[in-house]
Every structure is written in C-alpha cells, then in structure tokens.
Amino acid sequence: MLYSPLFWIACAVLLFWAVGAYNRLVRLRSAAIQAFGGLDAHLVRMQAMLAECDAAHAGAEGVVEQARMALQGAATQFGANLAVARARPLQPAGAAALSTGRDVLDAAWAQLLRVREDEDGPAAVITWRQRWEEHQAQSRVAVEQFNDAVAQYNAAITQFPARLLAWLFGFTPAKAL
C-alpha cells in the first residue's frame, strides 16, 4: 500500500489542496483586515473633525459647554474603542466595542448640534452637519466593504473541508460591524 503510486498521488493531491485552501483562508482574512484599514482611515478623519469642532466650541458656556464636554468624553471613549478594534479587527469584542462607541459618539454629536442650534440658530451648525454627513456617508461605504469581506471570510471558514483547516490553524469567525 505504501509503495502504491495511487497512494502517493492521493497524498500529493491532498497536500496541494490543503496548501491552496490555507492560502485562500489567509487571503480572505487579509482582505478583511485591509478593509478595516480603509474604515480606520475614515474614522481617524472623523476624529480630526471632532477635534476641530471641540476647538471651535472651546469658549462656549452653559448647555453648549455641557454638550461639548459630553462629546469630548464620547470622542475619547471612541478613540479607545477604535484602538482596541485596530489591534484585533476581526475579534468580536473589538467590533462590539467599536459599534457601541460609534453609537455613543453619534448621540453626543446629535446632542451638541441640537443644543447649538437652539442657542445660535440653524446657520450655526449647517457646516458641521454637512461635514458630519459626508464623514458618515464615507464610513458607511467603508463599513459595507468591511462587512462584505468579513462575510466572505466567515463563509470560507465554515465550508467543509476547509473548516478542518480553519480549526487546525485557529481561524475564528469575525464579527461584522
């Protein structure tokens, strides 16, 4: 049996399949991580805009100051959540932290704009609102690309027999945003 050419041919086919399947899993995982890099770039630009907004409202008083401080705290927490997600973009905990941070940041931003609009009128926030919408639109596209890459990766690691390689090499399912 060990000297049979069919045995060695079957072993060679199995080896080449395993190498190809492993490379596919690595390629899909890398594509998901790369897609997160694109999203990360948009989120960093959004943080820069938030810092500009914070500086622009630094002399505010009263309710606007409270809303600004809440936004500043949310932005700081979001930055920490982004750092966690950046370290391990395909881990469920990082994705959950980033999603939660984005929700808190969105709420704080809406509150600041609402308070500022009540104090100074709609003209005072129109530029900030437009910039925020541009950042949100770009982020949505980047999130969709990341989620598509994660879906392809997750589908690949659940297919049999690649599931065996995924288990053997520690490929775990990723969480979409």
Nearest CA to 89 out of 170, 25, 32, 169 is that of: 32
- The 3-state DSSP class for residue 97 equals helix
pTM equals 0.85
62: left (phi over 0), alpha (psi -120 to 50) or beta: left
What is the distance between the alpha carbons of residues 105 and 85, in angstroms, rounded to a whole number?
16
Residue 50, burial from CB neighbour count under 10 angstroms (0-12, 13-18, 19+): buried
76 versus 145: which is more confidently predicted? 145
> Residue 143 has what pLDDT?
93
**24 with 165: CB under 8 angstroms?**
no
> Is residue 3's pLDDT more than 90?
no
Nearest CA to 17 out of 164, 149, 151, 152 is that of: 164
> Residue 52: pLDDT band by 50, 70, 90 thresholds?
confident
Instruction: Please state, as a whole number, how many other Cβ atoms lie within 10 Å of the Cβ of residue 4.
Output: 9
> Is residue 67's pLDDT more than 80?
yes
> Residue 117: pLDDT band by 50, 70, 90 thresholds?
confident
30-37: average pLDDT: 95
Treating both helix axes as pointing N-terminal to C-terminal, what angle do 162-169 and 126-158 enclose, rounded to 10 degrees?
Answer: 110
